[in-house]
Structure 1
């Protein structure tokens, strides 16, 4: 058991590989792994841990405090073990190490995502974690699937991209902060630190500003669909949302559809996304677009004494 070595390309590549084979519904690249470790806010006390067997990396963990929540003491640990190396003790070792570390950092409530599969759920229960909400992973075949026609923008709405805000991203920060506050979640999060958002979100290596569609009214962004790409053939929606004052106008559907059309034109062949099961409006949009559920994960929580 040790920390990931961010300055070792082979170590980082192995971490990204384990994550990819354990959770193929999310984009993992070595650059994204390093970015998470080095650019997460210092107050998160973030660590990336690895478990090895005979020199082979077989398990990974990303752990930290939810520093941007108004409720103190909340933390996360997400453990993933190579599917061909299960039941060798790596997962349990990662959980124990993560819990001990987070407790020393003041954590009192630990949240973890667990794949909705019998073995994973039983593992979480054995370690004292209780089930909470669920979320679906969804996939759309961009190469062969049929997208519905692109809706027309409502009067007064202009479609642009995140790249158009490169000189001054603050309006994008404000849009992100408002929409995130209304996302279904067990943990309330508030975006208040613009510089931290720039480092963690705006400069994220997977963010594709050219494929991130933004709906603009009177020069201000009011809705967006954030695109991540892996530099190959895979595209993912990281967030789709609309500010409260402009909801009910079809802007989420509009921005996401536009982004998908441009992703296909750019050569991407697979589109991925995820939705909380309580987010009925977004699930309806994704069903209309042609996405199909390809996996489910369950949020678990453990309260430390």
Structure 2
């Protein structure tokens, strides 16, 4: 059968469901649902020029690509393309066609440096390197079984600290945005961010359909969040940490660990069965926290970069 590449039609159920299915099969460590696919397509900030692509064979979505500029980058001309093909539908040309379409689109927007993640497996690495991408940093996916009772005990909340959920900030989530913006700027990575658009954050993050406001937990001092862990759930027993961080002035006090262990205990009590998170290999503080929590590495991905002339 012939493989065709085209833009995702997010309002067409078969497209959104197919996109989510491919991502779950190819990358089961990150949560995707048809609702989250539609939300991302509709609410990614316009400056990103976001274009999700699908590879279709005989009417079935077998490959996907998320393609966009990085509008919050400190360096202009940076862009991302992340391509995944169903593991049982490889070697049909879907990945090659998706990469070609993504690169052509980004080049037309003036992109000069392209970043792409690939699972750390020989075939994936060879695929990227054949297309002129050079290897960069690595990151781990980690998994924690919540049903087997291996979580460490709850740690006591220090004097002067209060634990609150994101639901407690429903009337005014701006303090969470400010904490998210500060911690994101310090997160290890290839792309440096300056995250300042509260309205964009509200649409993309605060209103995200997978955000679980009851499990997202913040350690607060004088009523203001100073450390937090952002929880997403997919309605199928899975929990994922979207971000964990601490404001610079409060680091070294164990507050991120406190927020995360309390969130995970409540997730287990709610019947969730497995939790996922991710770590840049250079993020030693979070690696230590996740090891203490009982997470184990389940996969590794490699960041590739290609310069466009």
| C-alpha contact 1:154 1:249 (8 A) present in aligned 2 | no
Deviations 1:71-95 (A, max 9, x none): 1100000000010111111100000
Q: Which residue is equivalent to 2:70?
A: 66
C-alpha deviation, 1:171, in angstroms: 0.5
Farther-moved stretch of structure 1 (49-58 vs 217-226): 49-58
Q: Distance in 1 between matches of 2:103 and 2:14?
A: 27
C-alpha distance in 1 between matches for 2:54 and 2:279:
28
8 Å CA contact 1:45, 1:64 repeated in 2: yes
Does 2:9 correspond to 1:5? yes
Q: Partner of 1:35 in structure 2?
A: 39
Mapped pair 1:98 → 2:94: no
Shift in Å at residue 57 of structure 1?
1.3
- Equivalent in the alignment of 2:259: 255
After the TM superposition, which residues 226-305 of structure 1 pair with which residues of structure 2 at under 5 Å, given as runs?
Answer: 226-305=230-309
Q: How far 1:145 sits from its partner (Å)?
A: 3.6
User: Which residue number corresponds to residue 121 of structure 1?
Assistant: 125
The alignment yields a C-alpha RMSD, in angstroms, of: 0.7
Structure 1 residue aligned with 2:57, among 53, 59, 65?
53
Q: Map of 1:179-198 to 2, 5 A cutoff?
A: 179-198=183-202
Tell me the distance in 1 between the aligned counterparts of 2:139 and 2:65. 20
Shift of 1:227: 0.3
Name the CA distance, whole Å, in 1 between partners of 2:283 and 2:77: 26
Range moving further from structure 2, 46-55 or 289-298? 46-55
TM (norm. structure 1) is 0.99
Structure 2 unaligned regions, length at least 5: none
C-alpha separation in 2, matches of 1:152 and 1:100: 54
| Secondary structure of 1:131 counterpart | strand
Assess if the C-alpha contact under 8 Å between 1:145 and 1:290 holds in 2.
Answer: no
Per the alignment, in what secondary structure is the counterpart of residue 41 of structure 2? helix
TM-score (norm 2): 0.98
- How many residues of Structure 1 are paired with residues of Structure 2 in the alignment? 305
**Partner SS state of residue 56, structure 2:** strand
- Runs of 4+ aligned structure 1 residues displaced above 2 Å come to none
- The whole-number CA distance in structure 2 between the counterparts of 1:245 and 1:155 is 17
What's the CA shift for 1:56? Answer: 1.8
Equivalent-residue separation in structure 2 for 1:163 and 1:70 (angstroms): 32
> For 2:157 and 2:126, how far apart are their aligned partners in 1?
48
Whether the 8 Å contact between 1:215 and 1:223 is mirrored in structure 2 is: yes
CA drift of 1:45 comes to 0.2
Matched residue SS, 1:51 = strand
Q: Distance in 1 between matches of 2:145 and 2:256?
A: 20
- Structure 1's unaligned 5+ residue stretches are none
